């Protein structure tokens, strides 16, 4: 990152918090939370980018309330689709690199093996459609960009499955957890590390979509079991099918992403999900 100005959006979120730490060595880092950069008002972002004139834009801001998005589709589309399009336009005008984070939820979950970047998309919910629209907006603009799709994001900050399980494990003697949706829990710590490592080797990498998730896979039930083992929580966990835990937004059954392209192009590989989980606990 020698000599580069970095603009970080979503600096108060779980991924943004770790990116702020990883990119603290940049010559100039402008880390903006929602108050300084509100993605629900995309046109306001133009002034911010034009004034700061970054070499790299890290967009870790997003509308991530999957179930609430079903009743707030316009807001989800504004934040996850319109705003990335504006950022792509301004990055292209400056000749800057745009780094944007997307999701496994752009897929319908019907594939039996890990999803490739080249596989056909088919989101099942508003959140997934809004994130896919953001990817497409960036690609239409062109310029220099990396879209990193990740999955089941959690970490020591923000609102996520890990922190929810730890809270519920203290409050309830028994929890029922879905066991027929599979994916790779991916820590915000690993995402930020991998992003920094990729950008250090980015000069020859082509613009495009890259999957960036931890290695291996499990179910939400398996993830919860691992969390409780690590925390020493005594609450009982019961595996259930998705049908017994209805939610406003449908979820894909298989969210496992293949990271081969990331490894081949950047030489970057994230830790296995269980190893990454162990590393998060000392930060809690």
pLDDT of residue 1: 52
Report yes or no on 224 lying in a domain.
Answer: no
Q: How confident is the model at residue 148 (pLDDT cuts 50, 70, 90)?
A: very high
What percent of the chain stands above pLDDT 90? 91
CATH number of the domain to which 117 belongs: 3.40.50.720
CA angle (235 as vertex; 169, 188 as ends), nearest 5: 40
**DSSP string covering 151-175:** -SEE-SSSS-HHHHHHHHHHH-SEE
Report yes or no on 9 lying in a domain.
Answer: yes
pLDDT of residue 163: 96
Report yes or no on 204 lying in a domain.
Answer: yes
Q: How many domains does the chain have?
A: 1
Report yes or no on 179 lying in a domain.
Answer: no
8-35 pLDDT, tens digit each: 999 999 999 999 999 998 899 999 998 8
Report yes or no on 143 lying in a domain.
Answer: yes
Report yes or no on 134 lying in a domain.
Answer: yes
172-218 pLDDT, tens digit each: 999 999 999 999 999 999 999 999 999 999 888 999 999 999 999 99
Q: What mean pLDDT is predicted for residues 45-64?
A: 95
pLDDT of residue 3: 60
Question: What domain range includes position 106?
Answer: 5-158+186-216+256-272
Contacts of 279 (CB under 8 A, 6+ apart): 187, 189, 271
pTM of model > 0.85: yes
Give the containing element (helix H, strand E) for 147: strand 144-150
Report yes or no on 226 lying in a domain.
Answer: no
Query: Active-site residues: which are they?
Result: 127
Report yes or no on 181 lying in a domain.
Answer: no
Q: What mean pLDDT is predicted for residues 97-105?
A: 97
3-state helix, strand, coil split of the chain in percent (to 5) is 40, 20, 40
209-261 pLDDT, tens digit each: 999 999 999 999 999 999 999 999 999 999 999 999 999 999 999 999 999 99
- Residue 15 near residue 188, CB atoms below 8 Å: yes
pLDDT of residue 158: 86
What percent of the chain stands above pLDDT 70? 99
Q: What mean pLDDT is predicted for residues 138-147?
A: 95
């Amino acid at each position: 990152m020698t000599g580069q100005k970095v603009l970080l959006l979503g600096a108060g979120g779980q991924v943004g918090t770790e990116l702020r730490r990883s990119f603290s060595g940049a010559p100039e880092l402008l880390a903006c939370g929602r108050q300084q950069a509100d993605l629900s008002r995309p046109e306001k972002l133009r002034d911010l980018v034009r004034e700061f004139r970054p070499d790299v834009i890290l967009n870790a801001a997003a509308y991530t309330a999957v179930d609430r998005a079903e009743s707030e589709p316009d807001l989800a589309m504004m934040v996850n689709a319109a705003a990335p399009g504006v950022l792509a336009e301004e990055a292209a005008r400056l000749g800057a690199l745009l780094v944007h984070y997307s999701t496994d939820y752009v897929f319908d979950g019907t594939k039996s093996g890990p999803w490739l970047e080249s596989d056909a998309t088919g989101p099942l919910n508003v959140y997934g459609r809004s994130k896919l629209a953001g990817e497409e907006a960036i690609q239409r603009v062109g310029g220099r960009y990396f879209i990193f799709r990740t999955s089941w994001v959690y970490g020591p900050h923000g609102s996520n499955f890990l922190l929810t399980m730890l809270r519920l494990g203290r409050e309830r003697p028994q929890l029922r957890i879905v066991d027929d949706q599979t994916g790779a829990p991916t820590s915000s710590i690993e995402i930020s590390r991998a992003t920094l490592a990729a950008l250090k080797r980015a000069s020859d990498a082509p613009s495009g979509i890259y999957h960036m998730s931890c290695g291996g896979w499990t179910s939400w039930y398996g993830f919860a079991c691992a969390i409780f083992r690590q925390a020493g929580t005594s609450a009982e966990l019961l595996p259930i099918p998705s049908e017994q835990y209805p939610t406003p937004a449908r979820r894909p059954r298989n969210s496992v992403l293949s990271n081969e392209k990331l490894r081949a192009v950047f030489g970057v590989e994230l830790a296995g999900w269980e190893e990454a989980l162990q590393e998060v606990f000392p930060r809690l």
